[in-house]
């Protein structure tokens, strides 16, 4: 599977860019899946629901299934799974867009907003192949307007070998 990441610090516009890229790229007929890395504990389940009760009772995995979707909830025992381990669990698609996992070695585009006051990741990370930003930046890689989804999608698709 082809993999491309979107990285950046909090409030840099990563999730909005991911959402727009998924819509743009799937609109072009490609299949896309996403991986989102969370730095905090999260739960898709709700207290009191049967599946929550199964986990609370000690189930290591709980699979929820309906006519519309399914989800497999796995309790992490020792350490956080790697991105490679998570990719191995995914169905094949044309492109997997990854939000986060900024320290992994896959190619990435950095979402950067000047108002956050955070430094750019790109200058110290060669895996960041371009920057999508709302301010003028001087860097030795392509720079895109953060809201120019079409140009960013074109760049990513070309980078992964799906471009025209």
Look up the pTM and report it: 0.87
What is the model's pLDDT at position 143? 98
Report if residue 151 sits inside a domain.
Answer: yes
Report if residue 49 sits inside a domain.
Answer: no
For the chain, how many structural domains are there in total?
1
Report if residue 134 sits inside a domain.
Answer: yes
What is the model's pLDDT at position 115? 92
Render pLDDT for 94-114 as a digit per residue (tens, 0 to 9).
999 999 888 899 999 999 999
Give me the domain span that covers residue 134: 2-43+80-159
What whole-number percentage of the chain has pLDDT above 90? 63
Report if residue 52 sits inside a domain.
Answer: no
Query: What CATH number does residue 134 fall under?
Result: 3.40.50.300
Report if residue 84 sits inside a domain.
Answer: yes
* DSSP strands (E only) in the chain: 2-7, 32-36, 61-65, 70-74, 95-99, 108-112, 128-133, 143-145
108 vs 35, 80, 125, CA distance in Å? 13, 21, 10
What is the model's pLDDT at position 41? 56
Which among 157, 23, 159 has a CA at the least distance from the CA of 94?
A: 157
The segment with the largest mean pLDDT, out of 42-51, 56-65, 152-161, is 152-161
C-alpha to C-alpha distance for 11 and 14, rounded to whole angstroms: 7
Report if residue 142 sits inside a domain.
Answer: yes
Report if residue 73 sits inside a domain.
Answer: no
What whole-number percentage of the chain has pLDDT above 70? 94
Report if residue 50 sits inside a domain.
Answer: no
């Amino acid at each position: 599977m082809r993999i491309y990441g979107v990285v950046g610090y909090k409030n840099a516009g990563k999730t909005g860019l991911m959402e727009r890229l998924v819509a743009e790229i799937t609109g072009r007929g490609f299949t896309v899946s996403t991986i989102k890395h969370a730095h905090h504990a999260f739960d898709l389940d709700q207290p009191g629901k049967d599946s929550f009760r199964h986990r609370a009772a000690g189930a290591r995995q709980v699979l929820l299934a309906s006519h519309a979707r399914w989800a497999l909830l796995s309790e992490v025992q020792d350490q956080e799974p790697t991105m490679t381990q998570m990719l191995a669990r995914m169905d094949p698609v044309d492109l997997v867009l990854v939000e986060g996992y900024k320290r992994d070695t896959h190619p990435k585009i950095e979402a950067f907003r000047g108002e956050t006051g955070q430094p750019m990741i790109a200058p110290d990370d060669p895996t960041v192949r371009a920057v999508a930003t709302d301010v003028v930046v001087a860097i030795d890689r392509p720079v895109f307007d953060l809201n120019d989804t079409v140009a960013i999608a074109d760049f990513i698709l070309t980078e992964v070998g799906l471009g025209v």
